[in-house]
Amino acid sequence: MLLAVLVIVALPYVVTLSNSRDTQRAAAWVTHSNAVKSVTYQIAYMMQDSESASYRLLSGDGNESTRKCALLASQQVPALLRQLRTMTLDNPDQQAAISALESGADGRITLMNQALSRLQHGDAAGARQSLRDGGDLFAIDSEIAAIVHNEDSLLEARRANAAKQAFNGRVVLSITALAQLLLLTIIVVMSERQIGQRRLAETREGRAVLRSQLIFQAVREPIALFDKDLNSLLVNNAFRELYGMDPGRNAQPLAGIGDGAWNDNVLLQRLNDVLLRDRELWDHDVIQRTVDGVDRHVVINARRLQQQDTDAPALLLTVSDVTTRALAEQKVSELNRQLEGKVAQISDVNRELEAFSYSVSHDLRAPLRHISGFARKLEHHLGAHADEKANHYIEIIAGSAQRMAQLIDDLLVFSRLGRGPLRLQAIDMQSVVDEARSLAESEAHDRRIVWKIAPLPMVIGDENMLRTVWQNLLGNAVKYTGHCEVARIEVSVQQGRRGDYEFTVADNGAGFDMQYADKLFGVFQRLHRASDFPGNGIGLANVRRIVARHGGRVWAEAEPGQGARFHFSLPATDAAGAPIESRA
Amino acid sequence: MNKKDLRTILLVEDSTADAEMAMDALGEAHLVNPVVHVEDGVECLDYLYARGAWASREPGDPAVVLLDIKMPRMNGLDVLTQMRSDERLRRIPVVILSSSREESDLARSWDLGANAYVIKPVDVDQFFDAVRTLGQFWAVLNQAPEKD
């Protein structure tokens, strides 16, 4: 680029310089040619003048000036001829022509001198003859013309050459002028663009600064910048509001801000450390009484900033008001403590329940066994002595013990259902229902039962527990249709909008009075006499407990003699098996 | 009758009523094996190691130990643990005879190496059947390795 600039700028100078030299040289050549021509013409005129003067002398003109004029040529022409030769030393053509002229002129001057000499001796005729001979024998006009012509054509050639050079110069000048124009255009365009870019960058920078100002002011977190003497440089609105600072005042000392909220020697010392030793202040917890008279729990962070315009460091201070968070945390930990207490209580209760059921398992059944065992021993012992009444009593004693053992077993199962963890897994309800149906049918061989079981989905749950649910519901359906000629039992399912399922078991059996529906799911609650339908009233209690532990609910509708419909729902579960509803 | 037939049946049972019923049931099985009744775990181990009150008993291991779980002093599961960890006692068959249907009792008994777990039925006929069958099986049918 630099080279191009140099060439473009220097070339016109060089070209112009050589042009003007050419012009000067051309002018010098013209002058020279004219000089040559003028000397040549001078020779010609001088010859002519001297010859004319000679002729006038012949015709009797005895004037002294005429005589002098006649002698002039012989006196001066040789010198002029030498001058001419010197002037055209570089041109061989001219030298040749000058030689020819010289010999001609010599001849004519010699004959002219002869004529003058003859005239002096009175031989006018001889003189006239000599003059005539000079004119006839030595013509110089053609030589003069040749020299002039030579000089003219030389001049012409030089002019043409000069014109060509001038044209070339003009072409080069035009090209360089064009190049200069182009260069200038490029420079102008480029600088325009650069200026535009700079202006754009400046605009952007201005906008960015404005934006950061806006953000700085809009941030809800109080932020402030202090100088090395802890006087405020820049505070945002949040800071100003929190500490009730006067917007008009600048450079307020930190210790005086917020009615002395910052007048804390430890904190000020730490902030000075930040400024002087570049130690960062990280989550410094303090309680400050702010302008609204509230004791606030704030977390202060500070770090040193190097200001761009000066060498002095600045302190960037951010304040996080964590009062509500601290309160919430306090509340959470309080609740956690309560919860831990509750959990401890619950695990205490669970432990007690565990111990209770262990004891029930081991200890409560033994006396019953003894009652029934020794009743039998009594029976054996009495043998033939036992009358009908004695046998009846013994039977009741043994039967009651038996029944109580059954109640204890049922209670233990019921209690276990509430205690143990749910073992959640994917369960194919279809196969669980089929299994439960087989079991229920096996206790009703000679009955006609029409089953209608809809396709059932996969669910997440505890398989053993849900099996118990179906065994109870289907077992009940079979049991309570015992008096029907043809029992109809129907199992169906509906999917709710939230992915939950509602299963229904409907039968055409004995049904029940809805008045007592709330008792249906209680432990050992029965709506039918044991003599009509055997049972001890634990099954539906188990169902309710299991369904509840799965996050669902169970309910029923019926009419005496018209059958019953039992429904239970299971909420949609996520992949981990947690009921979605319970989290909502 | 060879020597094996005369091995004792050791009944470990703190409840005298249960013990009486069990003895009755074993009696009904018409076994010739003598039945020894001890009342808790400590006494059971005394018998097995032939020490203490049992130091002067006839030598020889019982054909089977019918072991209750819940007993004073040392319970049945502790006895079982001790038996299975002792080279001399580990091969003696142990049948847990308990009132408990608790899953945890069953699991622990099996884990500790019980040979059977029988729940004492409340129904007296079932109870007699169970004990009779046990006695017959373990004292007569079951073949134990000769002691080396």
Q: Could you give the CA distance from residue A377 to residue A394 in angstroms, rounded to a whole number?
A: 10
Distance between CA A421 and CA A82 in Å, rounded? 145
A483 to chain B, closest Cα gap in Å: 30
Q: Hey, are the CB atoms on B127 and A373 less than 8 Å from each other?
A: yes
Q: What does the pLDDT read at residue A562? A: 87
Q: Which domains are delineated in chain A?
A: 2-175 (1.20.120), 220-321 (3.30.450.20), 329-420 (1.10.287), 423-583 (3.30.565.10)
Q: Are A361 and B101 a contacting pair at CB < 8 A?
A: yes
Q: Could you tell me if B70 lies within 8 Å of chain A, comparing CB atoms?
A: yes
Residue A375 touches partner B, C-beta closer than 8 Å: yes
Instruction: Tell the CATH topology of B3-131.
Output: Rossmann fold (3.40.50)
Among the partner residues A362, A363, A401, nearest to B122 by beta-carbon distance: A401
Q: Name chain A contacts of B19, Cβ cutoff 8 Å.
A: none
Structure token pair of residue A361 = 């398992």
Q: What is the distance between the alpha carbons of residues A226 and A473, in angstroms, rounded to a whole number?
A: 77
pLDDT confidence of residue A579: 54
Query: B136 at the A interface (CB within 8 A)?
Result: no
Spatial distance between the Cα atoms of A101 and A258, rounded to a whole number of angstroms: 124
Residue of A nearest to B105 (CA): A358
Contact at CB, B124 and A362, closer than 8 angstroms: no
Distance from CA of B94 to the nearest CA of A (A): 19
What phi and psi, each to the nearest 5 degrees, are found at residue A574?
A: -85, -175
The model's pLDDT over B24-41, given as tens digits with 9 standing for 90+, comes to 888 888 888 889 999 989
Name every residue whose Cβ is closer than 8 Å to that of residue B58 and which is 6 or more positions away in sequence: none
Chosen for mutation from A354, A357, A361, A465 (greatest number of chain B CBs closer than 10 Å) is A361
B75 touches chain A (CB under 8 A): no
Strand order across the beta sheet in which A486-495 lies: A448-453, A486-495, A501-507, A564-570, A554-558
CA distance A435 to chain B (A): 23
B116-119 sheet: strands from edge to edge: B35-38, B9-12, B64-67, B94-98, B116-119
In a mutational test of the A interface, the residue from B96, B103, B124, B131 whose CB has the highest number of chain A CBs within 10 Å is: B124
B28 CB near a chain A CB, below 8 Å?
A: no
- Which residues in chain A are closer than 8 Å to B26, comparing Cβ atoms? none
pLDDT for res A502 = 93
Nearest beta carbon to residue A365 from set B17, B99, B105: B99
How far is C-alpha A478 from the chain's CA centre?
70
Task: Report whether B100 contacts A358 (CB < 8 A).
Answer: yes
Q: Do A402 and B17 touch (CB under 8 A)?
A: no
Residue A405 touches chain B, beta carbons under 8 Å: yes
A519 touches chain B (CB under 8 A): no
pLDDT bucket at B4, cuts 50 / 70 / 90: very low
What angle is formed at CA A575 by the lines to CA A425 and CA A433, rounded to 5 degrees? 35
In chain B, which residues have their Cβ closer than 8 Å to the Cβ of A376? 124-125
Q: Kindly determine whether residue B99 and residue A376, on different chains, have CB atoms separated by under 8 Å.
A: no
Q: Nearest CA to B91 among B111, B119, B62? A: B62
Query: Nearest residue of A to residue B18 by CA position?
Result: A370
Which of A357, A365, A410, A412 is the best residue to mutate to test the B interface, defined by the most B CB atoms within 10 Å of its own CB? A365
pTM for the structure as a whole? 0.49
Alpha-carbon distance of A85 to A101, in angstroms, equals 11
Are the C-beta atoms of A419 and A353 separated by less than 8 Å?
A: yes
CA-based max dimension of chain B: 42
Return the closest-CA partner of residue A354 out of B104, B109, B106, B110: B104
By CB neighbour count within 10 A (0-12 exposed, 13-18 middle, 19+ buried), where does A78 fall? middle
Q: Which residues, 6 or more positions from A482, have their beta carbon under 8 angstroms from its beta carbon?
A: A444, A447, A509, A533
Task: List average pLDDT for each run of 10 residues in chain A, which is 584 residues long.
Answer: 73 76 80 86 86 83 81 84 85 84 85 84 83 81 84 83 81 85 91 92 90 88 88 88 82 83 86 86 86 84 83 87 86 92 86 80 84 87 86 88 86 82 89 92 86 92 92 92 89 88 92 84 81 83 91 90 91 61 39
How many CB pairs below 8 A link A and B? 60
Q: How far is A535 from chain B (nearest CA, A)?
A: 18
Residues of A in contact with B98 (CB under 8 A): 362
Q: Indicate the residue of B15, B103, B124 with minimum beta-carbon distance to A366.
A: B15
ipTM of the complex: 0.75
Q: Is B141 on the interface with A (CB under 8 A)?
A: no
| Partner A contacted by B81 (CB < 8 A) | no
Query: A373 — contact with chain B (CB < 8 Å)?
Result: yes
Quote the CA–CA distance of B120 and B125 in Å, as a whole number. Answer: 11
Task: Give tens-digit pLDDT for B91-126.
Answer: 999 999 988 888 888 999 999 999 999 988 888 888
Question: What CA–CA distance (Å, rounded) separates B129 from B139?
Answer: 15
Whether A419 and chain B come into contact, CB under 8 Å, resolves to no
Residues of A in contact with B15 (CB under 8 A): 366, 370
Q: Is B107 on the interface with A (CB under 8 A)?
A: no
Measured in angstroms, the CA of A458 and the nearest CA of chain B are apart by 28
Which residues of chain A neighbour B72 with C-beta distances below 8 Å? none
From the CA of B22, how many Å to the nearest CA of chain A? 10
Say what the pLDDT of residue A472 is: 92
Residues of chain A positioned with their CB less than 8 A from the CB of B103: 416
Nearest-by-Cβ selection for B124 from A358, A361, A373: A373
Query: Measured between CB atoms, which of B103, B105, B120 is closest to A369?
Result: B120
Within 34-53 of B, beta carbons closer than 8 Å to A belong to none
DSSP reduced 3-state for A228? coil
Across the interface, whether the CB atoms of A369 and B124 are under 8 A apart is answered yes
The verdict on A372 touching B (C-beta cutoff 8 Å) is yes
Asked if B105 and A361 come within 8 Å (Cβ–Cβ), the reply is yes
